[in-house]
């Protein structure tokens, strides 16, 4: 009986693991840009050329599908752009030339790494600016939070008295773990009244 | 008993920070409201509207066969000297069907339209124009989408307004309705040196 339970538990664990491994493998395969679309498989003379192709299509934004790179999208226009990038690489164009070629046709919109211009200043420096701003606020708050910590003499005397009554209330009860709430509240009440 | 105690405890630490602290408590609310305004304003926009890189530039150089006569080649210069429209279409494009009657009306008013048959089959395209009417003064057959690519086309239908100097003045993505033509494109068309034919029938709004 016990063993069968163990057995089925093991089986289900094994199945889950298998599923997980399978899914991981499948996602690995599908994330290869050369596989997306499944239409064109590009051939390269060197691994370096392939890497350059992949990095270029990874940094071009699909003009039709908005939130996908050309590498990720199966939209016809993304396939066209991949073909053009490949063709231009074969013709010996540089990365900058290819990106410029696409920008000439589809605007800076297709560039996932836009150049630094007046209109992209916020895009480039907005996030670090925000971090700095948040840090300033945090530090400012911290600096101001420490000031009210100082107590007057009468206040610290009150604290001492309260702590003393707290210790006294606590000491005689050895098995206090269960009644912590009543314990901690009782002296406070007495202190206030 | 214990509840009332908890309540009194909870309200105690808030008391000292009532006046300057209130601002800090309101900060997330302010940020939230700002986000609501920002995101709300984004909802109204058309996600298909991407600023075109081609507006203000000349029509790209091309040499494409006529749709009706494969032997006849058209080049960019064939169309210069007048304001005209380039309409990107295909028989595979259902929204082009929706646009078609309005294109016919615009053409009837005397506006020259160059039909760019985009990634299509020649016979299917010819049959389509026979069946539904041909709004195009000229038709070029862009089987591989070469001119479409140079125009920055992302799909069909798309309509470009070209002035008499051969410079693209406006790009319209999606169905072009008569209302949009009258409101947006027609004033630009006149500005670009475009004329309507004197004996043309007036367009219905």
**Tens digits of per-residue pLDDT, B21-59?**
667 778 888 999 999 998 888 777 666 566 678 899 999
Say whether A63 and B53 touch across the interface (CB within 8 A). Answer: no
Give B-chain residues touching A107 at CB under 8 angstroms: 50-53, 152
Round to whole Å and give the CA distance between B125 and B120. 7
Do residues B164 and B145 lie in contact, with contact meaning Cβ atoms separated by under 8 Å? no
- Predicted local confidence at residue B133, as pLDDT: 95
The count of residues in chain B is: 205
**Of residues A103, A109, A185, nearest to B5 (C-beta):** A185
pLDDT in tens, chain A (193 residues): 444 444 444 555 556 666 666 666 666 555 554 444 445 688 888 899 999 999 999 999 998 887 889 999 888 889 999 999 999 999 999 999 999 999 999 988 888 888 888 878 888 898 999 999 999 999 988 887 766 667 788 888 888 899 988 888 777 655 544 454 444 444 444 444 4
pTM, rounded to two decimals: 0.65
**Of residues B47, B52, B145, nearest to A80 (C-beta):** B145
Do residues B74 and B63 lie in contact, with contact meaning Cβ atoms separated by under 8 Å? yes
Say whether A107 and B152 touch across the interface (CB within 8 A). Answer: yes
Select from A108, B59, A90, A33 the least CA-distant residue to A99. A108
CA atoms within 13 A of residue B133's CA, in its CB half-sphere: 12
B161 φ, ψ (degrees, to nearest 5): -105, 120
Query: Which tokens is A132 given?
Result: 């700095």
**Of residues A104, A141, A189, nearest to B53 (C-beta):** A104
Say whether B2 and A63 touch across the interface (CB within 8 A). Answer: no
- Chain B's closest residue to A185, CA to CA, is B5
- Predicted local confidence at residue A114, as pLDDT: 82
Give B-chain residues touching A66 at CB under 8 angstroms: 47
| Residue where the block lists tokens 């530090």 | A139
Do residues A106 and B153 lie in contact, with contact meaning Cβ atoms separated by under 8 Å? no
Say whether A105 and B47 touch across the interface (CB within 8 A). Answer: no
Give A-chain residues touching B50 at CB under 8 angstroms: 63, 106-107, 109
**Of residues A106, A141, A148, nearest to B152 (C-beta):** A106
For chain B of 205 residues, list the mean pLDDT of each consecutive stretch of 10.
43 48 79 89 68 87 94 92 94 94 94 95 95 95 93 91 93 92 93 76 49
Give A-chain residues touching B24 at CB under 8 angstroms: 141
Say whether A105 and B152 touch across the interface (CB within 8 A). Answer: yes
Give chain A's count of helices (H) and strands (E). Answer: 7, 0
- Predicted local confidence at residue B195, as pLDDT: 83
Round to whole Å and give the CA distance between A180 and B9. 16
- Predicted local confidence at residue B199, as pLDDT: 57
Count of C-beta atoms within a 10 Å radius of residue B21: 12
- Predicted local confidence at residue B203, as pLDDT: 53
The residues on B that touch A, with CB distances below 8 Å, are 2, 5, 16, 24, 47, 50-54, 119, 145, 149-155
Judging by beta carbons within 10 Å of its beta carbon (0-12, 13-18, 19+), is residue A162 exposed, middle or buried?
middle
A76 touches chain B (CB under 8 A): yes
Say whether A105 and B145 touch across the interface (CB within 8 A). Answer: no
């Amino acid at each position: 009986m016990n063993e069968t339970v163990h057995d089925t538990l093991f089986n289900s664990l094994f199945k889950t693991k298998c599923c997980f491994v399978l899914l991981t493998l499948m996602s690995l395969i599908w994330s290869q840009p050369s596989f997306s679309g499944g239409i064109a498989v590009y051939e390269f003379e060197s691994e370096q050329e392939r890497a350059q192709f992949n990095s270029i299509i990874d940094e071009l934004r699909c003009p039709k599908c908005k939130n996908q790179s050309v590498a990720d999208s199966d939209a016809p226009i993304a396939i066209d752009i991949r073909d053009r990038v490949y063709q231009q690489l074969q013709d010996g164009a540089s990365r900058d030339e290819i990106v410029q070629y696409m920008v000439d046709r589809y605007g800076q919109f297709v560039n996932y790494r836009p150049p630094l211009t007046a209109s992209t200043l916020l895009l480039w420096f907005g996030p670090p600016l925000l971090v700095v701003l948040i840090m300033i606020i945090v530090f400012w708050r911290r600096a101001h939070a420490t000031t009210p910590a100082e107590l007057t003499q009468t206040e610290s005397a009150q604290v001492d008295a309260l702590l003393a009554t707290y210790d006294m209330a606590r000491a005689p009860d050895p098995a206090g773990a269960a009644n912590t709430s009543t314990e901690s509240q009782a002296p406070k009440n007495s202190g206030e009244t | 008993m214990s509840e009332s105690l908890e309540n009194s405890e909870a309200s105690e630490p808030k008391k000292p920070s009532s006046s300057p602290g209130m601002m800090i408590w309101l900060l997330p609310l302010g940020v939230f409201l700002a986000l609501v305004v920002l995101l709300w304003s984004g909802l109204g926009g058309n996600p298909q509207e991407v600023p075109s890189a081609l507006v203000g530039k000349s029509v790209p150089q091309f040499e494409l066969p006529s749709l009706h006569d494969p032997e006849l080649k058209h080049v960019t210069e064939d169309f210069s000297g007048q304001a005209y429209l380039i309409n990107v279409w295909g028989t595979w494009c259902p929204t082009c069907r929706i646009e078609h009657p309005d294109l016919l009306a615009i053409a009837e008013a005397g506006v020259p339209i160059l039909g760019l048959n985009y990634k299509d089959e020649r016979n299917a395209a010819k049959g389509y124009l026979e069946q539904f009417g041909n709004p195009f003064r000229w038709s070029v057959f862009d089987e591989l989408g070469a001119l479409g690519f140079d125009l920055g086309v992302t799909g069909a239908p798309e309509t470009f307004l070209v002035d008499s100097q051969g410079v693209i003045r406006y790009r319209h993505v999606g169905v072009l309705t008569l209302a949009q033509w009258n409101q947006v494109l027609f004033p630009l068309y006149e500005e670009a040196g475009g004329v309507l034919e004197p004996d043309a029938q007036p367009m219905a709004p």
